[in-house]
């Protein structure tokens, strides 16, 4: 076991935490920013060192251990100890957490590099030290979530993600609607945190009677060998301990309750129906949006579901609800993206839609495909956001899509980055279909497959139309703005190019499907799938040609429909997409359930919070101040009366003389 112990894991989350905490403390207490060179070296060095550490430890896992024994443990101490319950503060690195840690730390480094050039070009650009401090703290929380060994610590990291995300959503709070988006995000995340807390408490209660050995160190994760005598397979994604016996002894519907609570928490984090969508109302700077979506909103929900996959295996009803929630949200959000006339809103709806595809795959039990899809979104989404930010800078801050025609021709590097991201995004469903599938799909799977196929076709249509619109025609800035297409800032180009290269390598070089590699003469080309295979089980990584054919046909249908609509637009005719504006407009409202949830959930909680802040707190402060003043005045009057008494005066003088003599005696004795 000693060979699996490594004290280097702690440095992966600690280095970004140190960088962010020191930068934030200096801003709070020093009240001034560092020099630009110090900001660059310190705040980029933290995530860069975390990325280097994760790469080194991943290489150690891949080369030193057999496929079934790839894990490292770093025991930091005890987190909670009460009675028979013990929660250790332990970090655990297995293939899944290693790949996720590498991805998010690399994205953070490249987005920070991009932000350097973005702040020079944008006169109202973000405060770099504040942005980097918040993003480094957020990165540290994400890494803790990926590496932690106990669910209670994962809950703490999950809540920290919500706190850091609120700071990024409200990064610019001068405008009222931007502040409202931050408040909406904060309220929803608190509800999601409560749902996760209840889910973990219900899980402990369900497994506590028969699975106490596992609760002493319940690992949210696959990748570890089962305890002696257990009938669990290694890497099956189940909580360690005799879960089978606990399932038989658990009350009817206990796992279903836990599954629906997990579904509520993840759906709120991922903005899936029927919970409100806030992302389209955020106008945070492009680097802040890229950090928020890649680190906080994409990979963590899918990762948490994959680690707690045994819950949905024991609660098929909750798994089916998760699949339908993701599929329906994916379709409606894709239609809303087609209707959006603003680049930010189009990106926001597209991100929600793609995340719905990943959650639908997780609900079907295809956790390998879900993680691969979320990993692809983590790498591709910031690439598209940063490319769009370069276009927005060239238009003087304009975000309307009808004014962005042809600008990519004057921005060649941005054009290459946007084209690369669009192509990778189009092929992502096809490549994810080759990662994993379900051996026994649920009843009615063909209806779910039809909804998911329509969502993939709509996403392909949106991505293709967006690229064709931005690469053809002529740009036109809004009144008062000035066209300034320029790529003189090398950090902009380096950030976009690095993300494009990283996405291409991890998704198509390391993750090239085996049939494609075999056709090219490369055996076991899908090294990413083979590396993650022990985590998801031996049977979850088989290539299914039927799923790949269905994904390819949906992508082809969406691409052909996009070419038809673009041809009609170029000829000056209303495209068939424009004729569907009423349908797309209704989808852009994110359904009536969204507004109902907003009225029933967000607005009452916000009103209650404002009432507490304005009335209850002010009343407590006033009454507390008055009581303190009366107490101080009474003590002062009493002391004044005592000081005028001769007996009290002699007693006070005697006490002082005695204390002085005692002090002299002690000092002489020392």
DSSP 372-392: HHHHHHHHHHHHHHHHHHHHH
For helices 176-207 and 254-270, the axis angle rounded to 10 degrees is 160
Task: Name the one residue in this structure whose structure tokens are 């054919």.
Answer: 549
How far is residue 670's CA from residue 191's CA, in Å, rounded to a whole number? Answer: 61
The whole-number pLDDT of residue 539 equals 43
Q: Strand, coil or helix: what is 400? A: strand
pLDDT above 70 (res 541): no
Whether 397 has a pLDDT exceeding 80, the answer reads no
Q: Which residue has the tokens 């020191």?
A: 22
Q: Which helix (H) or strand (E) holds 56?
A: helix 36-64
- The pLDDT of residue 231 is 33
pLDDT in tens, 241-254: 344 455 555 665 78
**Rounded Cα–Cα distance for residues 112 and 126 (Å):** 12
Instruction: Report CA dihedral (172, 176, 182, 188) to the nearest 10 degrees.
Output: -170
In this predicted structure, the answer to whether residue 481 has a pLDDT above a threshold of 60 is no
Mean pLDDT over each residue of the chain, to the nearest integer: 75
Secondary structure of 173-202 in HEC code, one letter for each residue? CCCHHHHHHHHHHHHHHHHHHHHHHHHHHH
Q: What angle do CA 355, 299, 4 make, to 5 degrees?
A: 150
Instruction: Of 85-99, 200-214, 386-400, 406-420, give the lowest mean pLDDT range.
Output: 200-214
Of 86-90, 558-562, 605-609, the range with the lowest mean pLDDT is 605-609
- pLDDT over 90 (residue 232): no
Residue with tokens 């790839």: 70
Contact 333, 349 (CB under 8 A): yes
* Highest mean pLDDT (candidates 138-152, 403-417, 603-617, 651-665): 138-152
The better pLDDT of the pair 123, 296 is held by 296
Do the Cβ atoms of 295 and 614 come closer than 8 Å?
A: no
What the block records as the tokens of 330 is: 């994916």
Separation of alpha carbons 408 and 53, rounded Å: 37
604 within 8 A of 187, measured Cβ to Cβ: no
User: What is the structure's pLDDT at 247?
Assistant: 54
Inter-residue contact 363 to 321 (CB < 8 Å): yes
352 vs 227: which has the higher pLDDT: 352
Strand partners, 5: 73
Residue 109: pLDDT band (50, 70, 90) is very high
Q: Greater confidence, 403 or 333?
A: 333
Q: Of 567 and 140, which is predicted with more confidence?
A: 140
Distance CA 127, CA 83 (A): 48
Torsion-angle region of 473 (φ positive above 0: left; ψ -120 to 50: alpha; else: beta): left
Q: Give the pLDDT of residue 105.
A: 93
Nearest to residue 304, comparing CAs of 341, 257, 259? 259
Q: How far, in Å, CA of 283 to CA of 233, rounded?
A: 47
- Confidence band, pLDDT 50/70/90 cuts, at residue 504: confident
Residue 102: which pLDDT band, with cuts at 50, 70 and 90?
A: very high
Query: What pLDDT shows up at residue 104?
Result: 92
Q: Which of 25-39, 421-435, 608-622 shows the lowest mean pLDDT across its residues?
A: 608-622
| Between 669 and 433, the higher pLDDT residue | 433
Predicted TM-score (pTM) of the model is 0.80
High-pLDDT (> 70) share of the chain, %: 69
Query: Which of 223-237, 351-365, 523-537, 646-660 shows the lowest per-residue confidence on average (mean pLDDT)?
Result: 223-237
- Selected residue with higher pLDDT from 355 and 508: 355
Residue 638 pLDDT exceeds 80: no
pLDDT in the model for residue 644: 56
Q: How deeply is 546 buried, as exposed, middle or buried, from its count of CB atoms within 10 A (0-12, 13-18, 19+)?
A: exposed
N- to C-terminal Cα separation, the chain: 53
Name which residue leads in pLDDT, 509 or 454: 454
Position 342 scores a pLDDT of: 81
Kindly indicate the confidence band of residue 107, based on its pLDDT and cuts at 50, 70 and 90.
very high
For residue 388, pLDDT over 80 is answered with yes
State whether the Cα torsion 540-98-147-385 is positive or negative. Answer: negative
Comparison of pLDDT for 571 and 319, the residue scoring more:
319
Taking only the tens place, the pLDDT of each residue in 406-464 is: 766 778 888 888 899 999 988 888 888 766 555 556 666 778 788 888 888 888 888 88
More confident residue, 595 or 12: 12
Can you say how many angstroms the Cα of residue 78 is from the centroid of all Cα atoms in its chain? 27
Q: Supply the pLDDT for residue 20.
A: 85
Cis, bond preceding 402 (omega within 30 deg of 0): no
């Amino acid at each position: 076991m000693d060979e699996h112990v490594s004290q280097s894991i702690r440095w992966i989350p600690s280095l970004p935490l140190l960088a962010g905490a020191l930068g934030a403390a200096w801003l709070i207490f020093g009240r001034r920013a560092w020099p630009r060179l110090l900001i660059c070296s310190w705040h980029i060095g933290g995530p860069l060192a975390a990325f280097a550490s994760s790469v080194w430890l991943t290489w150690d896992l891949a080369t030193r251990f057999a496929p079934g024994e790839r894990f490292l443990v770093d025991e930091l101490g005890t987190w909670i100890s009460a009675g028979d319950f013990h929660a250790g503060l332990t970090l655990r690195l297995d293939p899944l957490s290693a790949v996720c840690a590498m991805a998010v730390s690399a994205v953070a480094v490249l987005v920070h590099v991009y932000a350097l050039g973005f702040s020079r070009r944008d006169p109202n650009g973000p405060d770099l030290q504040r942005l980097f401090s918040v993003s480094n703290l957020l990165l540290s929380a994400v890494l803790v979530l990926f590496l932690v060994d106990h669910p209670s610590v994962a809950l703490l990291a999950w809540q920290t993600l919500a706190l850091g995300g609120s700071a990024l959503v409200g990064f610019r709070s001068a405008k009222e609607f931007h502040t409202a988006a931050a408040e909406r995000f904060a309220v929803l995340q608190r509800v999601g945190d409560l749902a996760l807390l209840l889910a973990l408490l219900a899980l402990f209660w369900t497994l506590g009677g028969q699975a106490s050995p596992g609760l002493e160190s319940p690992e949210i994760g696959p990748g570890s060998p089962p305890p002696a005598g257990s009938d669990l397979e290694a890497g099956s994604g189940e909580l360690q301990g005799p879960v089978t016996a606990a399932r038989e002894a658990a009350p009817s519907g206990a796992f279903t309750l836990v599954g629906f609570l997990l579904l509520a928490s993840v759906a709120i984090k991922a903005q899936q129906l029927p919970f409100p969508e806030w992302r389209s109302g955020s106008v945070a700077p492009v680097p802040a949006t890229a950090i928020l979506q890649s680190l906080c909103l994409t990979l963590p929900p899918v990762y948490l579901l994959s680690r707690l996959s045994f819950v949905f295996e024991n609660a098929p009803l909750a798994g089916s609800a998760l699949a339908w929630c993701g599929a329906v949200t994916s379709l409606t959000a894709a239609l809303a993206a087609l209707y959006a006339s603003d680049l930010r809103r189009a990106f926001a709806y597209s991100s929600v839609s793609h995340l719905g595809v990943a959650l639908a795959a997780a609900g079907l039990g295809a956790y390998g495909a879900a993680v691969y899809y979320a990993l692809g979104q983590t790498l591709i989404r910031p690439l598209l956001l940063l490319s769009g930010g370069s276009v927005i800078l060239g238009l003087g801050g304009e975000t309307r899509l009808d004014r962005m025609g042809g600008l990519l021709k004057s921005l060649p590097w941005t054009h290459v980055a946007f084209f690369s991201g669009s192509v990778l995004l189009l092929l992502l469903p096809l490549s994810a279909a080759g990662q994993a599938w379900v051996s026994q799909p649920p009843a009615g799977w063909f209806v779910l497959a039809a909804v998911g196929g329509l969502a993939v076709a709509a996403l392909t249509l949106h991505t293709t139309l967006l690229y064709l619109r931005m690469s053809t025609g002529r740009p036109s800035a809004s009144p008062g703005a000035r066209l300034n297409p320029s790529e003189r800032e090398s950090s902009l180009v380096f950030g976009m190019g690095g993300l494009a290269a990283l996405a291409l390598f991890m998704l198509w070089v390391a993750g090239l499907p085996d049939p494609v590699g075999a056709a090219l003469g490369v055996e076991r080309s899908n090294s990413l799938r083979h590396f993650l295979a022990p985590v998801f089980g031996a049977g979850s990584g088989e290539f299914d040609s039927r799923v790949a054919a269905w994904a390819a046909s949906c992508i082809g249908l969406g691409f052909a429909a996009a070419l038809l609509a673009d041809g009609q637009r170029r000829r000056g005719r209303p495209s068939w997409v424009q004729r569907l504006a009423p349908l797309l407009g209704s989808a852009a409202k994110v359904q009536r359930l969204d507004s109902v949830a907003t009225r029933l959930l967000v607005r009452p909680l916000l009103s209650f919070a404002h009432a507490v802040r304005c009335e209850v707190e002010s009343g407590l402060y006033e009454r507390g101040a008055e009581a303190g003043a009366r107490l101080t005045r009474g003590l002062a009057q009493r002391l004044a009366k005592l000081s005028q008494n001769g007996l009290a005066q002699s007693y006070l003088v005697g006490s002082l003389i005695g204390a002085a003599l005692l002090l002299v005696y002690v000092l002489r004795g020392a």
